[in-house]
Amino acid sequence: MADGAPTPSAPPAPAADATPMIAQYLEIKSANADSLLFYRMGDFYEMFFDDAAVASRALGIALTKRGKHGGEDIPMCGVPVHAADDYLQRLIAQGFRVAVCEQTEDPADAKKRGPKSVVRRDVVRLVTPGTLTEESLLDARAHNFLTALFRAPAKENAEPSCALASIDISTGELIAASVRLSDLPGELARIKPGEVLVGDDMAGDAEIRRLIDEAGAAMTPSPRAHFDSVRGERALKERLGVAALDAFGDFTRAELAALAGLLTYVEITQVGRAPLLRPPRKEIAGSLLVIDAATRANLELARSNQGARAGSLLAAIDRTVTAAGARELASRLASPSTDIDLVNARLDAVAYLAGEPRLRQAVREALKAAPDLARALARLALGRGGPRDLGAVRCRHPRRPRSWSACVARRRGLGLPRELMGIVERLAAAPIGIEQSLAAALHEELPVNARDGGFIRKGFNGDLDEHRALRDGSRQVIAGLQATYADATGVKGLKVRHNNVLGYFVEVTALHAPTLTKPPHVETFIHRQTMANAVRFSTPELAELEARITSAADRALALELDIFAKLVGEVLGQEQALSAAGAGLAELDHYAALAELAAEENYVRPKIDGSLVFAVDEARHPMVEQNLRRGQGAGFIGNDCRLGEESGGGTRILVVTGPNMAGKSTFLRQNALLVVLAQAGSFVPAKSAHIGIVDRLFSRVGAADDLARGRSTFMVEMVETASILNQATERSFVVLDEIGRGTATFDGLSIAWAALEYLHEVNRSRVLFATHYHELTALADKLAHAANATVEVKEWRDEIVFLYRVVPGAADRSYGIHVAKLAGLPAPVLARAGEVLNELEKADGRPKPTDLADDLPLFQATKPAPGLSEPSALEQALGALNPDAMTPKEALEALYRLKTMLESEA
């Protein structure tokens, strides 16, 4: 059972009065006591006993009764099979596991065993948050990982670590990695699994439970015995068909143990069906940019602060045209690389497509028709695929002259980048024959389910065509028979109808019924049913025809299903090449989308190397810039930022001051986002950018408490700051905003001062440090690699104008009261705040609150604070003007009046 959801109780023991069906239900339920049991009965999945009570509340459906058990009514509820996915989605979202129990025997065969025999049923699948494959249950543009977590044995003088193995069974992607225990929250935030498996020895660890819960995943305890490294190594070799795993990476024993727990759980939940596995990817420590969970949230990489995709960096840059391409983009954005060669190779691919607009548009146009091949193959392998999934293989990519493949192929000798050439080679290796076979076999329009039939083309199979002709010709035969009977009896209103109970029958009104029950027709028409307004009859001819039609329909469907199974077998026989082609299409879409983004948003290629430089010119915040454009406001004002030099000297820390609302936080965040984009292989929003590779990215921005863990806002701030100071290296990039503001002024200033010195002397990281403690600007003179910057503002009378331009220097004021005025604080409060501020600024040291209270009675009618006076007569007169309603003469007269008033005020 996924942790956190109500657990269904164990079923009752079978009572003496239990029917065979209830006895079967209780037997199956007892083997799946921790899951809700979807028990197939005809066109419904039924639930009984406690499952019915739990499910009816969770789904908001009616709770009814069916029969008795042990002398008491049996609670029951059910959902239609055709709508089961919707109900499954709601149950899974609430943390339930669902055992799907299907009929595994034809009812006709059950009857042969006796009139009271129950159709055999068995659980064919356990549905859990991490094992979804249905299109309707998944987000097409996001992965759905199932992750197994295993704590590695402790080593002397080494920080505790753990191994993670993750699989998306809807695509076959398999990943293994080892991380420090302190980095686990960030790793879970990066993978974002739907479900996390832990050994039952770890399930009671409150900290592990908390981390999994914060990652938004369901926790599922599994037997510790499943996490066995020898078992994992053997299972992986068998699934991959290899004798050694060396070609896939050097897996640690802890990683193999995590893989064992993962693959065992998949085998259990899929009831023996093996999902597709793409070659496992071993993520080597240090190969990815480490971003902790708090930083991911602060920078809104995949989700905005409101929890939605809209407003995030991912939403701002996503120009993909396929679901697989969107997943690839999201994966690379979540996992930026630290491999300089790999990053530059990816940038080469983007640059090539950015420089070839006609090719790029041809690629994107062709890809719009590309199906989600990875998920189609995964469903086929698990026996959940349908004709449309075969159609996805048939339509792997359009083969037209304007197809991207033809366009790219012509450029093979023209310096095609390594990444794009690899895609071309994978697609060239994909089997053409299977596509041709599927194109010959399948109709253009395909049903969702194979049992619906009608998906095989006419002419593909002669036997199928014969049975279809008989089945489909029955309408004409029945119409002819109806006309014959009507002529013979003289009853013009006679109809031949059909239902599932009587089959085919002749129906006449009660008025004409005597005609069929008297000679000469009584021998032909056999009475079957009398109704209020009609009487129904059967005939030997109808019975014979029905048998032939039913047999033809059943035989036609059986033939189609047999052809379907053979086609699936052919496809899965070519699965590896097809999976590689699907991955290539996803990568191509992702590269073309980043090139489109660069062209559309005027992004530039960053220079990526091994230096400690961060130098950008006119950099912009991607989300804010697009929001401003949508709001038709002023354009975004880009800013420069320079940290470090090739020689190792220069500024490493920039202390940024300036008023609230002036853009300090935007400046800090945009530079951190440039690091993520660049190392993810994307162009960046700037005029130019030179970024030395970053190993860890930290962002401490904003204020939030954690009351559930007993942490105040200041405590959360200090915990995050401690994490930065303990982990940042000279290759890290650190963004800090308002450290120390959550406590008393002098305490906060002291902490910020000490943290800044520590970052300079010990961590030696590239740092952007925003603060309202103007005293910290003095550190620029003291610390060799620190400098000051401020966000410019202009004052005009009692207003401030934000220029959103970051320039060298330090601010001498915070303009807090001016910002408070913009927020709408009452005028008396603003005036009083101005008076208190004046006294504080005049005081030598820290004045006592009692002195302020004695000297300045609350809200007395004193002279307003400087710069916060009521509007002048000139301002009032100016505000009263309505230029749109004035004639040129009136406007000129008004201008002279204003000039006269200005001169008199002067």
The answer to whether the annotation marks 405 as part of a ligand binding site is: no
Count of other CB atoms within 10 angstroms of residue 339: 16
- Separation of alpha carbons 903 and 906, rounded Å: 5
Count of other CB atoms within 10 angstroms of residue 523: 9
- Separation of alpha carbons 95 and 88, rounded Å: 11
Count of other CB atoms within 10 angstroms of residue 214: 15
The label of the residue with tokens 């009812």 reads 107
- Separation of alpha carbons 875 and 151, rounded Å: 69
Count of other CB atoms within 10 angstroms of residue 234: 13
Per DSSP, the residues of 376-400 read: HHHHHHTT---HHHHHHHHTSS--S
User: Which residues, other chains included, contact 885 with Cβ-Cβ below 8 Å and sequence gap of 6+?
Assistant: none
DSSP reduced 3-state for 125: strand
The answer to whether the annotation marks 664 as part of a ligand binding site is: yes
- Separation of alpha carbons 538 and 503, rounded Å: 9
Helices (H) and strands (E) in the chain, counts: 33, 27
- Separation of alpha carbons 307 and 480, rounded Å: 64
- Separation of alpha carbons 574 and 467, rounded Å: 31
Count of other CB atoms within 10 angstroms of residue 255: 27
Amino acid identity for residue 706 in this structure: D
Residue 1 CA to its chain's centroid (Å): 23
CA distances from 310 to 116, 163, 627 (A): 57, 32, 11
The answer to whether the annotation marks 287 as part of a ligand binding site is: no
What's the CA angle centered on 533, arms 529 and 536, to 5 degrees?
25
**Bridge partners of 497?**
505
Letter string b/e over residues 597-616, b meaning 16 or more CB atoms within 10 A of that residue's CB: bbbebebbbbbbeebbbbbb
Structure tokens at 200: 């039952």
The answer to whether the annotation marks 662 as part of a ligand binding site is: yes
Structure tokens at 380: 């086929």
The answer to whether the annotation marks 658 as part of a ligand binding site is: yes
**Bridge partners of 80?**
44
The answer to whether the annotation marks 661 as part of a ligand binding site is: yes
The answer to whether the annotation marks 4 as part of a ligand binding site is: no
Angle in degrees, 0-180, between the axes of helices 474-489 and 462-472, rounded to the nearest 10: 30
CB 743 within 8 A of CB 714: yes
The binding site for ATP comprises 658-665
The binding site comprises 658-665
